[in-house]
Chains A and B, each alone.
With several copies, the nearest count.
Chain A
């Protein structure tokens, strides 16, 4: 029984950590946010060159067969650096989904492009009414002689503005909240009938709203089995939730450490505010909440690795805890930073905003608490 990283994992951690330390300070990050598409294309190429874009893919698919541990390692560091490049949306979610349900042709066509950094994909699965239920799909897929025709609206497509291809969930059969009847389609972003509105989110990332009007795709665009997409979507959602939680855990660590450091330098009433016992105990609580979320993260990662039946339950425990404790840690950090915590000069407020966004992605605290309860019966 050990929680040590392997040699390769340690190298990976050091590599990402060093990059964040040396090349990704908060000012750099701000510049990336302001660039076309909301991230730095050159940095993305660096990620490709450093081999980070291939980590989660099997060797067969051109990757190194990394698992949940490797993803956790990278995401924690990305969290500390507030990385805005579309790693989660393109590599983990879209790439992960392709690897899971794509056929050989689809994989060979696209995964290589993701891995070498030349292609960006985005999953368009959320709809305005669906909130956290990925089976709640009103976009329709009508099959025809030439393939399919898609109609509907998609919401909060992460980094949808810079994607060249969407993976669109659409309903081939059934009512809008049926678990059966949903299919996935690979849709070029420049297809006729797609309108996209690209917009920034408060955390400096980007998302897009899509409307699809009679968008035509060939039969070969079908990804996975017709009408059976929900399990794959929910499976990738669980994996993405763990990755995002890892990002949040990285931020929580940074937040409690930076708060401790700030409190030791900030003087009021002639002493560093770290001397005040009430603040000390609250910083201990921040530390504790980080350790708890870190433990739940390891638990979820280990159960994924072991293929345990209770993986989803562990994911919900983790995502719920991060929602509550992550936000609490960030709130406390701002309070202890005082006025400085309210400024964009410090990154502490940006951590809060990113944690809040993460809390809405793939289910907020209440959603996961309810799912935890239903999985406990």
Chain B
């Protein structure tokens, strides 16, 4: 039993820290603290990582990966998050990229992977549909073969960043007679194809991140299909079970707690700083204790993978507790900001309140997406507890 880093890992961590110190300028950090980050800023940060060769640590080295151990990948993600670096947009780098290099043909790899690594092309994810949320396989968007093309009709929903995206990867039904999970194919679709319409979804945080995407007789070359026809569910499942180390969001929650403490030191309640109020501190401490537990639960999962094993049963709780803790921090942060958490005026109250509120509201989705926490509990009940 040993949680000390090896000298090699310490050296690696120091290298990451030095890199972040040099390249992660205040502009990036301010953007992260401020809430939503504009596309340009994210792209600039991603390009800095690309130039360093660190944009895709999990990819195999032949496609541009780093060849790091899982511990190194963990250190890297942790250091980036703790330093306050922008979160990478996952759709290209963590989702469709791995599917392409795992199941795509050589032509597809050559065509798509470099642009993903260089952040030249933005991707979005076309999975969910109005009738297919937690029950993803119930999707209805259909693709009918027409020579060398598919004609795609249907609708996707909750499509984050569709308004910024050049391409979308979609699950579509290519065989309406097969059983639910069968008859689904995995298509890459150019967002500029005629017949695609993106409609903004007004969301409760008053920001624009979610969209609906409509397909009206959209022509997609068969060459843009990944792998075999009707085998799309397999590729999608691969993605869902693909190694996801940062799922618990521990460093992000740590930073959010630090931010909350700063705010609570500034806010005055009953004539003294809120941070001196025991009732407030007790709520904060309860969350901190949960986060300390989560941090070690994640370390246990990482260690067991690093050790060559599979993640243990403890890893199954990372998503549930991670998102619950994120929400708890956000709720308490809103409470700490008092009245101004709810003010939308420019320059009204303290400038930290508005991003806190946005984060809180958008954060309600964390327990819904990526497999709702209810679905996660069903999975644990079945797979871990054997119920």
Contacts and interface: CB of A to CB of B under 8 A. Distances in A.
B294 A1 contact: no
Given A283-B387, A344-B202, A278 B377 contact: yes
Contact of B343 (A132, A136, A201): A201
A268 B377 CA distance: 16
Contacts of A278: 374, 377
Contacts of B345: 197-200, 209
Interface in A198-233: 198-203, 207, 209
8 contacts: A128-B349, A269-B138, A283-B385, A284-B381, A288-B380, A296-B296, A342-B365, A353-B361
Contact of A133 (B204, B271, B277, B306): B271
Interface string A260-303: 10011001111000101111110110011001111110110010
A315 to B, nearest CB: 12
B290 A292 contact: yes
Given A294-B314, A364-B335, A372-B288, 18 more contacts: A2-B303, A3-B3, A209-B349, A268-B134, A281-B374, A288-B380, A295-B314, A302-B1, A317-B288, A320-B285, A321-B290, A331-B327, A334-B204, A334-B364, A335-B373, A341-B368, A345-B201, A345-B202
Interface of A: 1-6, 9, 69, 126, 128-129, 131-133, 136, 155-156, 177, 197-203, 207, 209, 260, 263-264, 267-270, 274, 276-281, 283-284, 287-288, 291-296, 298-299, 302, 305-306, 314, 317, 320-321, 327, 331, 334-335, 338-339, 341-345, 349-350, 352-353, 356-357, 360, 364-366, 369-370, 372-373, 376
Given A133-B270, A133-B271, A338-B133, A155 B339 contact: yes
Contacts, number: 251
B324 to A, nearest CB: 10
Contacts of B339: 126, 131, 155-156, 360
B372 interface: yes
A37 B293 CA distance: 38
Contacts of A209: 345, 348-349
A298 B296 contact: yes
A360 B289 contact: no
Contacts of B327: 331
A200 to B, nearest CB: 5
Interface of B: 1-5, 9, 71, 128, 131, 133-135, 138, 157-158, 201-204, 206, 210, 267-271, 277-282, 285-286, 288-290, 292-297, 299-300, 302-304, 306-307, 313-314, 317, 320-321, 327, 331, 334-335, 338-349, 357, 361-362, 364-365, 367-369, 372-374, 377-378, 380-381, 384-387
8 interchain residue pairs of minimum CB distance: A199-B345, A349-B204, A295-B296, A344-B202, A292-B293, A280-B381, A268-B135, A295-B297
Contacts of A331: 327, 364
Contacts of B372: 335, 338
Q: In terms of DSSP, what is the predominant structure of the interface of chain B?
A: helix
B151 to A, nearest CB: 27
A6 B1 contact: yes
A109 B283 CA distance: 49
Contact of B71 (A1, A132, A274, A281): A1
A129 B305 CA distance: 50
Contacts of A200: 344-345
B202 A356 contact: no
A302 B203 CA distance: 40
A34 B387 CA distance: 38
Given A279-B374, A299-B296, A339 B364 contact: no
B265 to A, nearest CB: 11
Contact of A302 (B3, B158, B357): B3
A1 B5 contact: yes
A334 B372 CA distance: 12
B384 A338 contact: no
A66 to B, nearest CB: 12
B271 to A, nearest CB: 5
A276 B374 CA distance: 10
Contacts of B338: 131, 360, 364
Contacts of A364: 335, 338
B4 A370 contact: no
B294 A264 contact: no
A239 B368 CA distance: 38
A288 B317 contact: yes
Nearest to B324: A288
Contacts of B270: 131-133
Nearest to A295: B296
A335 B367 contact: yes
